[in-house]
Each structure stands twice: as C-alpha cells, then as structure tokens.
Amino acid sequence: MKRTLLAVLLAAAACSSGPQSKPTAVPAAQTGSSPANPPGAATAQTPGAAPPAAGQPPAPTAPAAAGSAVAQAKPEPPAIDEKAMDKTVDPCTDFYQYACGNWMKTTPIPEDRSQWGRGFSEIFQRNEALLHEIVEKDARGEPDGVDPFAKKVGDFYATCMDEQKAETASLATLQSWLKDIDGLRDGKALAKETAFLQAHGARAFFGFGSQQDFKDATQVIGGLDQGGLGLPDRDYYLKDDQRSKDLRALYQEHVAKMLALAGTPEAAAGKQAQAVMQMETQMARASMDKVERRDPNKIYHPMDRAALKKMAPYFAWDLYFAELGAPSVQQINVLVPSFFKNLSKTLGSTNGADLKNYLRWKALETSANSLGKGFVEERFRLTRALTGAKAILPRWKRCVQMTDRALGEALGRSFVTTTIGDEGKRMAKDLIQGIEGAFERNLANVDWMDDAARAASKEKLSKINNKVGYPDKWRDYSSMEIGRDSLLANVAEAARFETKRDLDKIGKPVDRNEFGMSPPTVNAYYDPSMNEMVFPAGIMQSPFFKPDAPERVNYGGLGMVMGHELTHGFDDEGRQFDGNGNLHEWWSKPVNDAFKERAECVAKQYDGYAAVEDVHLNGHLTLGENIADIGGLKMALLALRQKNGGQVAPKVEQDFFVAFAQVWCTNYRPEAARLQAQTNPHSTAQWRVNGPVSDNPEFAKAYSCKAGAPMVPQNRCTVW
C-alpha cells in the first residue's frame, strides 16, 4: 500500500495505492500513496486494472521516424506560466481556473492520451525523449559506459521495435502456453499452470508476492490477495446502471474476439467468453470493496500454510508454491480470507473446460500487448471505451515504456547521469529537511493531540528514511536472459526475473535500501511499513523542481510533493503504523477519535465535488490523498516562510500558490475522469487544487479573499 503521488490510470505512469507493478505482487500488501496525475497514455492494456507485469507494455502499432522523440518533447516550461493563467477569473472563486484556465483552453489532449497535464505529462514526455535516445544507442551497440546491462536494454528494445517478430515469434510463444493449458487434466496441473502464468506476468485467480509483516516490520512474509479480474474494479461487474451493463457486454465480446484471434473457432470463443465472464463475476462478488481495503487491519490475516490449505482446500497449494518458486513459505498474510474461501468453492464446482478457458484468457490478456497488430487493436478497443483515448501510442513510445518496466534500474543508470546532479540532490535533501522541520513545529499547534501523541508523532517523524534520486546500490540483472527473437519471451523473462527477485525476500529481514520505483519514474511515494519517502530523479524536474528556479516555485512544486508524502505518514492509513513501521494503536482513544472526526470532515467535503457530469468523487476512497494534499500544501508554505525568517512578501506567497496549482493543470477525457473518480484514490486535478487552498486560511490572506467566497468556506477541514 505504498502511498504514491500519482493517480495511475494507465501503464505510462506509476501506481496509485500500490507499488510499481510486480508480476504476482499483492496490490495492497504494501501500504503507500502518491500525489499526482500521470500522463494517461492510451495503452492497449485494460486501464484501471492491476498494472502489467514487469516489462509488459501494450505493443505499439507503428515505428516512429528517427529523432521524433526529441522533436515531440516540449521544452521546459517557465517557472510560473503567466500565459497559462486566466486572470479574468477571481482566484477566490475558482483558483484552479485562475491558475490554469488558459492552459486548459489552449492545450488539446493528444489523440493517444486519455488526459494531459502541464506537470506530470510534460515531464514524462521529456523523460521519454531522453530514454529514447539511450535505448536507441544501446540497440545500436553504442553504450555509454555507465550501464553494465546496456546490451540487455538494447536487445529488449530492439526486439520490441521488430513488429514482424511480434506477429510471428511472440505468437509462437503464446501458442506454446495455450497448448500447455489445453493439456491440463487435474487440479494439480491447474495449480502448477496458475503458478507458471503468474510468474510470467498473468493475473490468474489471485496475486501472491512478498510483503512486509504489518506487525513485525523487520520481517518479510508472503502476501496472498484477491485478483483475477479483467475489468478495472469489482464494481464494474456488480453495478446495475446501463453504462456498466454496456461495458460488461463489450468486455465479454472483447474476450471472445481475442480468443478467436488466437485460433479458437468463433462460436466456441463466444461460449468461452461467457464462461470467463461468469467466473470473473463470481470472483468480483467475493472481492473486498476498495474503500474497505484502505483499512490495514481489515487486510491483515496472517496464517500458516496449513491454515490456508484448510480454509481453501480445492487448490493444490503445495504444488503451486513449489512451481512459483516459494516452496518453503509458511507465514502468509491472506488479505481477504472470504475471497479465497469462495474461490476454493468455485474451483471445486467449475468444470475443467471452463477453468482452462479462464486460464487461456489470462494468458492472452497478459500477452496481447506483445503480439501482432490484430491483438493490439482489439485490446485498444476496450481501452478506448474505458478511457476515451482516440489512438494507440506509437511503437517507439510503447517500447521505451516497456524497457523501463523490464530493466528500469539499468536504463535508470544512464538516465540519472544527464538529469539530477549532485547539486540538485543536495538541494532536494535540504528541501525535505525544511518540510520535516515545518511538520515538527506544526505539531505544537495541533490542538486535538495530547502530549503523548505529539511525542510519539515526533519520534516517528525523526525515523523517516528519505531516498532521493536513485538507489545507492543498483539492481543486478545478470540472471535475466534477453534475446532478439520473441518479444513475448522477453516480457515473460522480465516478469520471471521480477517474480524471483520478489519471492526471494520472503523469510528474510527487510532490505531498507531498495527503491520501489525506477529512477526515470515521474512520481514519488511514502511507504508506512518502511516509514520512508522516495523521490525518483524522474520527478525532480521543472515545473516541480529546478536548481535555478525561484525558491517559491520549488516549494510550491516539489516542496508540496514532499509535504504530501510526509503527511501520508499521518493520514488515515499511515497514522496506524508507528515509527518502526509496525501496525498498532500508538495514540490514545481520545486522540484517535479526534483525528477521525476531522478526517470525516475531509471525506464529506470531497464527496461534494463532481469529477465529471453526474459522477462525484468518493470522499472515503480519496481520503488519504486529500489529507496529504491539504497537509502537504500547508507544510510547504510553512517551510518556505521558515527559510525566509518566518514570513515572505504577499506576492511571493501568491506565486507559491500559483506554482503549486500549475503542476496540476490537466485536461481529461470524460471517460478518463469517470474512471479515476470511480476507481482511483486520488481526486481529479481541479479538486487537488481547489480543495487544499480552500482549507488553507493563508491562501485567503494572500489573495484578500472575503469570507463566504467559494475558496473561503465557512467550515474548513484541517487535520494537520
């Protein structure tokens, strides 16, 4: 449950309420969060579903001309973009429109995107151009001497760019998988095949991966979680409105068409798709609601393997763990026991043919993006319905993203040499210290806390580990075998490597030096079990941060991000973990009750915000992110003032607020805004600006707003 800065809609960005994708990772087995909205690339994967396995991007459709990456990357924006503002709007009425109005009017959403933002999207685009130069050189055998795995990077990218091999060699890899599935004869074989598919990137039935023990943060155990769905969320299977019915019909038709493309006769494909839909609907009914999952106590059910086998007897767990590569695992957190009880019954009552049909679909689902044009275009048909994107990203962009996911810390070694320097890293660390100092000083003014809670919170604050830019120890990819034949084989190998790397952690002490995101990632996160904040080099760029930018801009951009991540350590989820990362009550009941009362105010406030048309935000789903946004903005301003002797000029504060708002300027397609509101723990951009400023009395002072103005509500909601 890493708390990341970004709302992840698509494969182009990092995760929302979970770590960057692992092939069999448990979506909520880590606790974490994010502060921003990603570029929203129109990938061919199902948006909103669990992220693709390591190295699994949707396959692009057409190569780009040489140099096009650089040509398409926009130059760095000015520190504060006056042209982006709509000064005809009263900032006290709608600050987001005031800061971003002209940008939104004049910035179209690219055809291959479901949304586009001034901050994350444009940084992502510039990073993508730089990564493109690196992988092209690696593919030509011109490594820069920095990355010892440059040949693997080059081979992976070159194979991805060979569209003909996607049509032939990758299809042959898939057909070998399907042949194995067709040959299944009993439950033992089913368990072994499930493990094989999961290890190679498929989301079959459920997820399994390593997890820090919530109540002993020094140890790594296994984490077993609900999963196996192809639509973005359980509610897509259960809601009775017409749009949900239409999407389910489209999804079932999509499954049938994909099966037919893989060689199943059309009539049989339709029946198989119906069986897949029935099975996924059963799993959706047994899945825990996404809001309920935000309570770590509700997803912590440790048990040994014997108890798991007794609870879910219709699955050969011993064979599964052995095949997956975790034969000795004993201690397992079963996040949602009721899901596995129901899954066991489903497996015991479903005929073998339908189980094989489901596994065939899962193999296809994870492979489609690495196959030929027909599979990619059919996959995108579902993406378009869910996100509104009009076109698939060009092939080179897909391949850059895929290479980053497969070999992120190899590619990242070259990336950081041309981006964040020693001075930038030093300045960022100073900025973090300023934000932490602001939070510590603010604790004295939090009137709902008692002295014991303040002291414990100060202790937790002192133990936060801050990671900036890139890891001290780079990942070793020596055991990953990458060739220049089958793209799908390379994707599956990257997933296998990541699965093994992840599962090898189980039963060992926690490694507190690891980065959970690759250095080029435009995102950040806080992990409460690790009690750490991580800021990759990818986000440490303009408009968030630049060494020579005005101080107020850096504080409004990256400073707010840092304040956001820090506040996650004390939001409705993070506050339940102490300074050592252990889950338990470390505040008194009166303090807990006072916190919950203020948090409920925030939830009700955001319930009232419309994301698009008649779809409102879910205040309880977005609660942690909203608390972090409100707190992060406050801490960044307090730190800026402290850096300048306790106060700054009104114009400087106005610029601070504009710099903050302009990193969130975003245009959405209606489908994308709806998808985010229904499935994502982050509010849409308008409310990530207007919500926090309306809860900040210093904003009203900076702009001389009158009481009762929309940005000056009568009852402000403030936790921190």
User: What is the reported pLDDT for 189?
Assistant: 97
User: What is the reported pLDDT for 113?
Assistant: 94
User: What is the reported pLDDT for 231?
Assistant: 97
Those residues with Cβ within 8 angstroms of residue 350's Cβ, 6 or more apart along the chain or in another chain: 279
DSSP 337: H
CA distance 205 to 228: 4
Is the separation of the CB atoms in 289 and 234 below 8 Å? yes
Nearest to 97 by CA among 715, 605, 701, 658: 658
Is the separation of the CB atoms in 617 and 607 below 8 Å? yes
pLDDT at 598 over 70: yes
Burial code of 194-204, b = ≥16 C-beta within 10 A, e = fewer?
Answer: bbbbbbbbbbb
Higher pLDDT, 494 or 23: 494
Q: Over the stretch 322-347, which tens digit does the pLDDT of each residue have?
A: 999 999 999 999 999 999 999 999 99
Percent of the chain beyond pLDDT 70? Answer: 90
Question: Considering 365, 573, 629, 695, which one is annotated as catalytic?
Answer: 629
One DSSP character per residue, 93-145 reads: T-HHHHHHHHHHHH-PPPTTBSEEETTHHHHHHHHHHHHHHHHHHHHTT---S
User: What is the reported pLDDT for 144?
Assistant: 83
pLDDT at 21 over 50: no
CA distance 34 to 37: 9
Structure tokens at 548: 């020579």
565 is catalytic: yes
pLDDT at 614 over 90: no
| Run of H or E including 266 | helix 266-286
> Average pLDDT for residues 649-654, to the nearest whole number?
95
Question: Considering 565, 571, 671, 695, which one is annotated as catalytic?
Answer: 565
Q: Which residue has the tokens 């009941």?
A: 589
CA distance 397 to 293: 34
111 is catalytic: no
Query: What's the whole-number average pLDDT of the chain?
Result: 89
> Average pLDDT for residues 592-613, to the nearest whole number?
96
Q: Over the stretch 341-374, which tens digit does the pLDDT of each residue have?
A: 999 999 999 999 999 999 999 999 999 999 999 9
Q: Over the stretch 414-455, which tens digit does the pLDDT of each residue have?
A: 999 888 777 888 899 999 999 999 999 999 999 999 999 999
Q: Over the stretch 57-114, which tens digit does the pLDDT of each residue have?
A: 333 233 333 333 333 566 777 889 999 999 999 999 999 999 999 999 999 999 999 9
